Structure 1
Amino acid sequence: MSRSIPVKDRIGHFLPKLVLSPSLVFVFVGVYIFIAWTIWISLSSSRMLPKYDFVGLAQYVRLWSTPRWHTAVENLFIFTSLFLIVTILLGLFLAILLDQKVRAEGLLRAIYLYPMALSFIVTGTAWKWILNPSLGIQEVVNNLGWESFAFDWITSPTFAIYCVVIAAVWQSTGFAMAIFLAGLRGIDSSIIKAAQIEGAGLPRIYASIIVPMLRPAFLSVVVLLSYISIKSFDLVLALTNGGPGSSTEMPSTFMFTSTFRRDQMGVGAASAVMMLMTVAAIIVPYLYSELKEGGHEH
Structure 2
Amino acid sequence: MSQTLTSSSQAARTPAPARSPADRIAQWIPKLVLSPTLVIVVVFFYGFIFWTGLLSFTNSRMLPSYGLVGWDNYVRLFNNERWLVALGNLGIYAFLFIAICLVLGLLLAILLDQKIRAEGALRTIYLYPMALSFIVTGTVWKWMLNPQVGLEQFVQSLGWDSFQFDWLVNPDFSIYTVVIAAVWQSSGFVMALFLAGLRGVDDSIIKAAQIDGASRFTIYTRIIIPSLRPVFFSAFIMLAHIAIKSFDLALALTGGGPGISSDLPAIFMYQLSFTRNQMGIGAASAMIMLLTVIAILVPYLYSELRVKKHD
The TM-score, its normalising length taken from structure 2, stands at: 0.94
Corresponding residue for residue 23 of structure 2: 9
CA shift for structure 1 position 289: 1.6
Give 1:260's aligned amino acid.
F
> Which of 37, 61, 76 is the aligned partner of 1:62?
76
2:202 is equivalent to residue 191 of structure 1? no
1:295, CA displacement in angstroms? 2.2
Letter of the 2:266 partner, please give it.
Answer: S
Instruction: Tell me what 1:231 maps to.
Output: 245
Cα distance in 1, alignment partners of residues 157 and 96 from structure 2: 31
Is 1:159–2:178 an aligned residue pair? no
Report the Cα offset of residue 260 of structure 1.
1.1
Q: Counterpart of 1:197 in structure 2: which amino acid?
A: I
Select 2:275's aligned residue among 258, 261, 264: 261
Equivalent runs, 1:120-269 vs 2, <5 Å = 120-269=134-283
CA deviations on 1:143-188 (whole Å, 9 max, x unpaired) are 0000100011011000011000000000000000000000010111
Which structure 1 residue ranges, 5 or more long, are not aligned? none
Corresponding letter in the other structure for 1:231 = K
Q: Which amino acid aligns with 2:299?
A: P
Instruction: Tell me the residue number matched to 1:279.
Output: 293
CA distance in 1, matches of 2:115, 2:70: 60
Unaligned runs of 5+ in 2: 1-14
- 2:12 alignment counterpart: none
Distance in 2 (CA, whole Å) between partners of 1:232 and 1:64 is 20
CA distance in 2, matches of 1:145, 1:287: 55
Q: Return the letter of the residue paired with 1:149.
A: F
Deviation at 1:13, TM superposition (A): 2.2
Tell me which structure has the larger Cα radius of gyration.
2
Within the alignment, does 1:72 sit opposite 2:86 as a pair?
yes
Q: Which amino acid aligns with 2:90?
A: L
Matched residues in 1 for 2:205 and 2:22: separation? 51
Identity value in percent: 60
For residue 6 of structure 1, report the CA deviation from its aligned partner. 3.4
Q: Return the alpha-carbon distance in structure 1 between the equivalents of residues 117 and 309 of structure 2.
A: 41
Q: Deviations over 1:207-253 (max 9, x none)?
A: 11100000110011000000000010000000000000100000000
Q: After the TM superposition, which residues 92-103 of structure 1 pair with which residues of structure 2 at under 5 Å, given as runs?
A: 92-103=106-117
Name the TM-score, length of structure 1 as normaliser.
0.98
Q: 1:292 offset after TM fit, Å?
A: 2.0
State the superposition RMSD in angstroms: 0.9
Give the partner amino acid of 2:73.
Q
Q: Secondary structure at the match of 1:181?
A: helix
1:292 aligns with 2:309: no
Moved more, 190-199 or 73-82: 190-199
Q: Kindly tell me the number of residue pairs found equivalent between the two proteins.
A: 297
Deviations 1:97-143 (A, max 9, x none): 11111111111100000000000000000000000001111011000
Q: Distance in 2 between matches of 1:82 and 1:180?
A: 19
Secondary structure in 2 aligned to 1:48? coil
After superposition, what is the alpha-carbon deviation per residue over 1:239-291, rounded to whole angstroms, capped at 9, x for unaligned? Answer: 00000010000000000111111111000000000000001111122122212
For residue 103 of structure 2, the aligned residue among 85, 89, 95 is 89
